[in-house]
Amino acid sequence: MENRAKHLVFLGCGLLCAAASVFAVASAPSAAEGPQAGQSAPATGAPTAGAPGAAAPAASAPNFPVASGARLAGDDKQTRFILDLDRKIEFRAFPLADPYRVVVDIPQVNFQLAAGTGSAARGLVKAFRYGLVMPGGSRIVFDMTGPVKIANSYVLDAANGQPPRLVLDFEQVDRTSFVQSLAPESRPELKPAISESTTATIPAVTTAALPPVATTDARPLIVIDPGHGGIDNGTQSGDQTEKNLVLGFGLALRDRIEKSGKYRVVMTRSDDTFIPLNDRVKIARSQSAALFVSIHADALPRREGDAQGATIYTVSDKASDAEAERLAEAENKADAIAGVNLTDEPTEVADILIDLAQRETKTFSNRFARLLMDEMKTTVRMHKHPLKSAGFRVLKAPDVPSVLVEIGYVSNKGDLEHLVSENWRNKAVGSMVQAIDTFFAKRLATAGPAK
Ligand SMILES: [Zn+2]
């Protein structure tokens, strides 16, 4: 992906998307009415899972506001953004630093914008993205050329043949006044800001909202983590996006694992929703997962050659090679792409017990990675160096063995043909399940007889 900046380390933040996504199914009827001004939250923490009509996913609800056009005007002193809508909506806009961005949180909107919208630079805006960040909440993220202030922002009624419009005016400012505008009291919350008025009662930690784990079920729990989602497309080739390819793969893997009956499976996402990196880790930890498998599909810029095949990554402080480092940097940028404010993350706890747990976890992660490579190489094409390591944030649960599999390169023609082929996917998924079986058979043997 082209937006690779210098910032290597993003400390995470606790967005509420994972918590909210759990409610996506349960709260579809109220979500369909739209989290508009003054309405109570669709997700209040109430156990609504058994509610009638709970089956319809929020994404298929038809009654969201529709955005039919978006454009930029102006120059590099003042730039205006206009979004055409079919009705007025609530919004909240705020700037973020490092990199300079402006985030606009709005209720869930059905974006019907022309392909390529947002990719062209104009004035103070390098590019912008839009999409779902949580059920009931959409977001627009602008990459800015430098520090800006939001000089004006408002929603206009339909008038003079024009539809209702969201209008934002950006003005160039210097870094000092920009930083002042980010003073702590004015600093936005870490969660999508529009949710403050609409979903304020979502519990702050995802654990409470996750599907209840049947405590009597002693089967190992596997977390499958399809990368990216919602506003974050991941890598792209034509109209194939990484977020869709890896979701399809993850769901197929889930189905196959569940069919075996030997394991429980939790998905970090099972639809097109953005989940912050830390929340993915939290899901694994809060469920005491026995294994975490993150699924991605890499891409190389054309000038950097034409790599191919699947690669299996484990976490390490020092990347095993330059490509692994580049990739971890790109993957760790997911939160920045989605406009998550990364400034307030508490520093990680330095604790000897965590350190010990980490060492054991690393051993298991490496063991699973090797088993996975041995199985996958019998059925799918592997990268010429198929085992690598780097500082992937999503692999940092100290107590859950974790691997990240780049199932192929969307930038490689042959790989892309595989990635969209159901036959290829079945073979790859089969190998993964085989590796999972071997891994747990060995773990149980090491831990002693179960009965
Ligand atoms: Zn990815």
Name residues whose C-beta falls within 8 Å of residue 147's C-beta, 6 or more positions apart in sequence.
95, 97, 100, 172, 173, 174, 175, 177, 178, 179
| Candidate from 79-93, 148-162, 299-313 with smallest mean pLDDT | 299-313
Secondary structure letter of residue 232 according to DSSP: B
Q: Is the pLDDT of residue 133 over 80?
A: yes
Query: What pLDDT, on the 0 to 100 scale, is given for residue 252?
Result: 97
Distance 228 CA to ligand 1 centre (A): 6
Q: Is the pLDDT of residue 266 over 80?
A: yes
pLDDT in tens, 191-229: 444 443 333 333 333 333 455 444 578 899 999 999 999
Strand order, beta sheet including 165-172: 110-111, 66-74, 78-85, 165-172, 148-156
Quick one: which of 211, 44, 208, 226 has its CA closest to 136? 44
Distance 272 CA to ligand 1 centre (A): 14
Handedness of CA 298, 301, 302, 305 (dihedral sign): negative
Average pLDDT, stretch 291-305?
88
Contact 84, 66 (CB under 8 A): no
Q: What mean pLDDT, rounded, does the chain reach?
A: 79
CA distances from 132 to 32, 39, 110, 136, 402 (A): 14, 19, 9, 8, 27
Query: What pLDDT, on the 0 to 100 scale, is given for residue 422?
Result: 93
Average pLDDT, stretch 347-364?
70
pLDDT in tens, 270-280: 999 899 999 99
Average pLDDT, stretch 16-27?
34
Distance 339 CA to ligand 1 centre (A): 17
Query: What pLDDT, on the 0 to 100 scale, is given for residue 339?
Result: 82
| Candidate from 6-15, 302-311, 331-340 with smallest mean pLDDT | 6-15
Q: List the alpha helices (DSSP H) in 130-189.
A: 175-181
End-to-end CA distance of the chain: give it in Å, rounded.
Answer: 50
Distance 226 CA to ligand 1 centre (A): 9
Contact 194, 107 (CB under 8 A): yes
Residue 356: phi and psi, rounded to 5, are -65, -45
Parallel/antiparallel/unpaired status of strands 221-226 and 264-267:
parallel
Query: What pLDDT, on the 0 to 100 scale, is given for residue 300?
Result: 85
* Backbone torsion region of residue 362, taken as left when φ is above 0, otherwise alpha when ψ lies between -120 and 50, otherwise beta: alpha
What is the band of 447 on the pLDDT scale with cuts at 50, 70, 90? Answer: low
Distance 61 CA to ligand 1 centre (A): 28
CA atoms of 140 and 332, how far apart (whole Å): 20
Distance 242 CA to ligand 1 centre (A): 7
Query: Which tokens is 53 given?
Result: 């009509």
Query: What pLDDT, on the 0 to 100 scale, is given for residue 221?
Result: 95
Q: Where are the domains of the chain?
A: 17-46+53-198, 206-447
CATH number belonging to domain 17-46+53-198: 2.60.40.3500
Query: What pLDDT, on the 0 to 100 scale, is given for residue 49?
Result: 34
CA atoms of 345 and 209, how far apart (whole Å): 21
Distance 229 CA to ligand 1 centre (A): 10
Q: Is the pLDDT of residue 231 over 60?
A: yes
Distance 209 CA to ligand 1 centre (A): 26
Distance 13 CA to ligand 1 centre (A): 19
Distance 187 CA to ligand 1 centre (A): 29
Query: What pLDDT, on the 0 to 100 scale, is given for residue 48?
Result: 34
Quick one: which of 233, 248, 230, 190 has its CA closest to 420? 248
Query: What pLDDT, on the 0 to 100 scale, is given for residue 180?
Result: 78
Residue 429: phi and psi, rounded to 5, are -65, -40
CA atoms of 261 and 436, how far apart (whole Å): 13
160 or 16, greater pLDDT: 160
Distance 298 CA to ligand 1 centre (A): 6
Distance 12 CA to ligand 1 centre (A): 16
Distance 234 CA to ligand 1 centre (A): 5
pLDDT in tens, 48-97: 333 333 343 444 456 899 999 999 999 999 999 999 999 999 999 988 88
SS3 of residue 343 by DSSP: coil
Distance 94 CA to ligand 1 centre (A): 27
pLDDT in tens, 327-348: 999 999 888 888 876 554 444 5
Query: What pLDDT, on the 0 to 100 scale, is given for residue 15?
Result: 35
Kind and range of the H or E run holding 149:
strand 148-156
Distance 301 CA to ligand 1 centre (A): 14
Q: Is the pLDDT of residue 123 over 70?
A: yes
Query: Which tokens is 363 given?
Result: 């051993």
Q: Is the pLDDT of residue 251 over 80?
A: yes
What is the band of 21 on the pLDDT scale with cuts at 50, 70, 90? Answer: very low
Q: Is the pLDDT of residue 448 over 70?
A: no
Distance 296 CA to ligand 1 centre (A): 4
Contact 191, 279 (CB under 8 A): no
Distance 313 CA to ligand 1 centre (A): 12
Distance 79 CA to ligand 1 centre (A): 31
What is the band of 351 on the pLDDT scale with cuts at 50, 70, 90? Answer: low
CA atoms of 283 and 305, how far apart (whole Å): 36
Distance 35 CA to ligand 1 centre (A): 30
What is the band of 354 on the pLDDT scale with cuts at 50, 70, 90? Answer: low
CA distances from 41 to 208, 405, 407 (A): 17, 37, 38
Distance 152 CA to ligand 1 centre (A): 35
Distance 409 CA to ligand 1 centre (A): 10
Distance 171 CA to ligand 1 centre (A): 33
Distance 2 CA to ligand 1 centre (A): 13
Kind and range of the H or E run holding 402:
strand 402-409
Q: 256: exposed, middle or buried (C-beta count within 10 Å: 0-12, 13-18, 19+)?
A: middle
| Class of the domain covering 206-447 | alpha beta
Contact 258, 273 (CB under 8 A): no
CA atoms of 312 and 329, how far apart (whole Å): 16
